[in-house]
Structure 1
């Protein structure tokens, strides 16, 4: 028909399969990096704020023990990507507020390779996180296990006596401390400095 153009609409530029593959790899790598970084960053934030039931860090024991008892239960979880076994040596203890208690968790590497992991943690009810303090904990540093290796890891904690002044927690008698281990990257090994080269060009010829 007259008046109609025979020109076809311009073709869209083709994106090569290589570009698509590289883009996908970059996206996945960024997500993996974010996953590794999120555990320590989130843990640091929660330690400072007590957000999400994260416990506090203490350097010394409280100055008093009061006559209010709690059953503290211990929970353990493993990310599916980590070939470890992880469990508390006892499922619960009874403590008074202000009493310092030590318990142990056991980890075992079930794989044939050396692996690294980091632990995230919280307590429930979440509101008790501001009153649950740890003096020593394996969650403060990443853990390394060789093939088939096992370790016993201590946790030294107390429930702050100040919890007795929190009226909204008056009905709380049980606190659950929960850990989840995630894969972690091995520490970066510094590149050894190259030895200086000896310049023999100026030596006299014999």
Structure 2
């Protein structure tokens, strides 16, 4: 397993090995690892981490907006800060982008392990709790609020900007912040919906076993 995933639960044993293992031990491991993986996927800490990354990305975009507004200004002193703001923006946005890619890969690994352990056995008493409808709803509602805020920032605030010096930079900044909020909301809503749909598919056979 990659070094970045060393703290994740291990994958389930192959099917030919599970046939020789104690069923009680296997089910206990499965329940423990699935609870851990669901928490890693939809836990409150994961939601706050997503928002934190978005906030850091918004900070980087703020420096970009300041660079554009300084470039539009006729003030010679402001023009001196254009490269400073641009470097600060790149210094924040680029590492945050790399972290986001790492997080996306980690989420894929979590989903792969969730599917693998869900298929390893059936335990209706445990599986019914792993659908986590409450957590999915929390992600969905909070994402809806964040998305509404993003739309208001993007269109409502931008509509109040009047033409003039710095207007282009201000609109760029405001619409960028709104899009960051909107994309964060879409990611949260998609994650909640995908987990709930996966759980329904993965555990629908539990009733038949």
Given the two structures, how large is their TM-score scaled by the length of structure 1?
Answer: 0.27
**Structure showing the higher strand proportion among its residues:** 1
**Structure showing the higher helix proportion among its residues:** 2
Given the two structures, how large is their TM-score scaled by the length of structure 2?
Answer: 0.27
